[in-house]
Structures are given as structure tokens and as C-alpha cells.
Amino acid sequence: MKPINKMIRFACSASILLFSASFILGGCAPQAQIDMLDRNVSGLQVETHRIGQEVEALKKQMNQLQGQAEGGGGRSIARLNARIDGLESELMRLNGLVDQLKYNQEREESELAQLKAEIQATVEKVGKTTQQLVQRPGQEASAKVVETEKEVRPQPPKPQEPQDLYKEGLKLFKMKKYQDAKAAFRDFIKEHPNSPMVANAHFWIGECEYKQSRYEEAILEYNKVISKFPKSNKVPDALLKQGFAFARLGDRESARILLKRLIKNYPRTPQAKAAKRQLKLLR
């Protein structure tokens, strides 16, 4: 093939690459995915707020029935407690979905930024090579074209990332496969000890233990969130569930201490409201 034909072929390849780069750098397709994840997170947060308001309404009803414990009042309070427990379980499920969507969103944004950087570097390299071809026609330019074509050739897709273990853990938890979920979360922590999701993984291991009535093990796992990741947004959840676990073990005093600590340190959270309700039941 003559050098001029190679230059034409290279120019066509470069044009296609530049068009693709402008599309991706503009953030069209990947950004649409990120925006969709953001909308999903917002929708779940709205639903969580709605359930929180319903819990508050039920709490007021229960307070009104406190003075009617005799007769049918006791049965009504029991029904309200059952309803509130169901809503709290739903809140925990929604929190898990929010965690997963936020994790997906952060990963999409990270991969998009990396892709933009790689394409930008390739575009700059193509521009330099094109300039060299114009300045140095002939055999040397032909060799440059072949070399550059190899450089800009698309790379094979990357293998599945180990971080998917976190999503797998959440999936298994929702399927009530708690042993498998614990294994997935522990593998995630081992593979990614510096990930911002490690605190969440410890919390969900604690949830698996709690669901299996292994309350002492759950307390230890929740405590890892509280002591090792004090700035994590999972700390209020960990304090609340740690208090619940102590109550299940019959240690009401420890449960009260933890719930009061939650109310003091995180007074405006839904978890603090749940802690106040639990404290009334521990009297």
C-alpha cells in the first residue's frame, strides 16, 4: 500500500475516533445512565420519607392508646407495633436499595471520568501523529501510521470487577440467603479494604447475623461500623440495631444506653425517632 493511501486510511480512522470521542466526552450515553441512577435514588429517598411519616403517625396513635391498655386497647397497641415493625423492615430494604444505587452511580461516574481521560490522551496522540505525517511524508510516515493504528486499536473489555461482590451481597440478603450474603460482603471487604463502602458491608453482615438471631455476633459487627467508621452514614443505623440486639438478649440497660446515645448524637434522624419509640417499650 502506498504511503498516501495509508495516510488517507489513517485520516478516516482518526475522524471516526474524534467523532466518538466528542460524543463520549460530551457525556451523552454514560451521563444519561448516571442521571437515571440519580432519579432512582431521589425516588427511593421520597418513598423512605413517606414511610417515615407513616411511622410517626402510627406512633401518635399508639400514644393515644397508651391510656386504653385495658380491654381492646392492648390489642390495638399490638397491631400498631406489628405495623411499625413492618414499616421499619421496609425502611431497611429501601436503605439497601439506596446504597446499591449510590454505589452504582459512583462507579459509573468513576468509569466515565477514566474513559474520558483515556480518550483525551488518545485524541492528543492522534493529533501529534497527524501533524508528523503532514511534515514528514514518505516511508517514515507510513511506518508511523502502522504504529499509530496499533496504538488506537480498541482494547478488549475489562473483566468483571471484584466490587460486584457488594451488589451480589445485597442481592443475596434480599433473597434471605444470609450465609451466602455474609460471604460475599466479607470477600468484598478483603478485596477492597479502602473502599468507602466497607462500612456499609460491615453493617449488612451485622444485618445477616441479626436476621439469623445471632445477636451477639450482630452487635460485634455493628460495633465495627461505629468504632472504625465514625463518619459513615451507617452509624445511626448501626447504633439503632445494636440497641435492638441488646434488647433481644434481655440486656435492657445496654439497649437504653445505646438508644440514648443515638438520640443525643443524631437527634433529627429517622433512626433517633425509632430509638425514642423503642425506649418507651423498654420501660
Judge whether 158 lies within some domain.
no
Are residues 16 and 94 part of one domain?
Answer: yes
Considering the domain architecture, whether residues 102 and 176 belong to the same structural domain is answered as: no
| 159 falls within a domain | no
pLDDT tens column, 67-105: 655 555 566 666 667 677 667 666 766 766 666 666 566
168 with 253, same domain: the answer is: yes
Q: Is the same domain home to 36 and 142?
A: yes
Q: Are residues 75 and 207 in the same domain?
A: no
Tell me, yes or no, whether 182 lies in a domain: yes
Same domain as 80, residue 8: yes
Domain finish residue from 117, 152, 187: 152
242 within a domain of the structure (yes/no): yes
- Read off the CATH number of the domain in which 181 is found: 1.25.40.10
Lowest-pLDDT range, 153-162, 217-226, 231-240?
A: 153-162
Spatial contact of 195 and 167, defined as CB atoms under 8 Å apart: no
Q: Are residues 68 and 27 in the same domain?
A: yes
Residue 29 lies in a domain: yes
Q: pLDDT tier at 217 (50, 70, 90 boundaries)?
A: very high
Is 168 found in the same domain as 124?
no
Same domain? For 23 and 139 the reply is yes
Grid coordinates standing for 109? 461516574
Show which of 101, 128, 152 is a domain's final residue. 152
* Domain, as residue range, for 77: 3-152
Query: What's the longest Cα–Cα distance across the chain?
Result: 101
User: How many residues make up the chain in this entry?
Assistant: 283
Say if 102 falls within a structural domain.
Answer: yes
**What are the backbone dihedrals phi and psi of residue 137, each rounded to the nearest 5 degrees, phi first?**
-65, 165
What CA–CA distance (Å, rounded) separates 234 from 221? 12
Total of domains in the chain:
2
Which one of 92, 127, 152 terminates a domain? 152
**Do 103 and 175 belong to one domain?**
no
Whether residue 118 is found in the same domain as residue 77: yes
Is the pLDDT reported for residue 148 higher than 90? no
- The sign one gets for the Cα dihedral 110, 113, 116, 118 is negative
Is the overall model pTM greater than 0.75, yes or no? no
Co-location of 146 and 171 in the same domain = no
224 vs 232: CA distance, rounded Å: 11
3 state DSSP class of 144: helix
Percent residues over pLDDT 90 in the chain: 40
pLDDT at residue number 98: 66
Residues 240-258 have pLDDT tens digits of 999 999 999 999 999 999 9
User: Residue 53: what pLDDT?
Assistant: 75
